[in-house]
Amino acid sequence: MVRAKDVTRLTALFGCAPYLGLRSLFYARLIRPLLNPEFRRYFSPLAALESMVQELLPAKITAMTATNVDRLLALRNDLPAYILSFLADREEMAHSIEGRVPFLDDKVVAFASRLRDEALVGEAAGKRLIRIAFAQQLPQETLAKRKKLFLAPPAAVEEIIRSEWASHFLSRQLTDAVGVFDWRALRWLTAALKITPANSGAGSAIRALLIFVISLHGLHDMFIVGRSPG
């Protein structure tokens, strides 16, 4: 949900309200209640966005259109930190798969970078340009489908959350040792999981939050403590 308060804050920083900023502040509101009160004092997504602006100052983002600010942030941050790490290269290499990401072809990127705003927003939004380009090659039912959120299979998520090692990573002892999250809040979240339908928006959010916590605690156990249960 987009809040007017968030739009005002981001506009003061970027000159617009880029998607990356809106997404960061939205997820911060979900994560904040789960944090250890001591750690919460240092949790400031807005400060992180301010530091991002400082890094982008040479790019003169204030002179850019909102669409180009979104493009720049996507290329500088989302592409290496999220898209390639979670949706492409890193996932593929972890399973010895050599994949190809067609929209990162140099000719496609060069073409996309020359597109004006009107080719990307308004009626052209939502991959409209791609649908038009492939109108003669794809079935009508494919062209008419709405965009769907891509997530890991629900069964795999359930298997992870209910595993013994997940219980270890969500335990009070380990949670207190890491110091990022509040164990009582995590216990409430785990209890809520049992009564929330898996296919609901709330169910998906709870599962995503728990996977996030388990992953962070797992990384701490592997690289900070230097061990990980088999």
Q: Which of 90, 46, 30, 81 shows the shortest CA–CA distance to 211?
A: 30
Rounded Cα–Cα distance for residues 109 and 155 (Å): 35
Q: What span, in angstroms and rounded, lies between the C-alpha atoms of 113 and 79? A: 15
CB count, 10 Å around CB of 17? 22
pTM confidence score: 0.80
Structure tokens of 10? 């981001």
A 10 A CB-CB count for 52 gives: 18
pLDDT for the residue numbered 19: 92
Distance from the Cα of residue 193 to its chain's centroid: 21
pLDDT recorded at residue 147? 73
Q: What is the DSSP secondary structure assignment for residue 143, as one 8-state letter?
A: H
Let me know if 216 is exposed, middle or buried by CB neighbors in 10 A (0-12, 13-18, 19+).
Answer: middle
For the range 53-56, what are the long-range contacts, defined as Cβ-Cβ under 8 Å and sequence gap of 24 or more? 53/13, 53/14
Q: Which residues are CB-contacts of 111 (< 8 A; sequence separation ≥ 6)?
A: none
Q: Per-residue pLDDT for the chain (230 aa), expressed as one digit of tens each?
A: 689 999 999 999 998 999 999 999 999 999 999 999 999 999 999 999 999 998 887 777 778 899 999 999 998 998 888 888 777 777 788 788 887 778 888 999 899 889 999 888 888 887 888 888 889 999 988 888 877 766 555 567 778 888 898 999 999 999 999 999 999 999 999 999 888 887 787 888 888 899 899 999 999 988 888 765 54
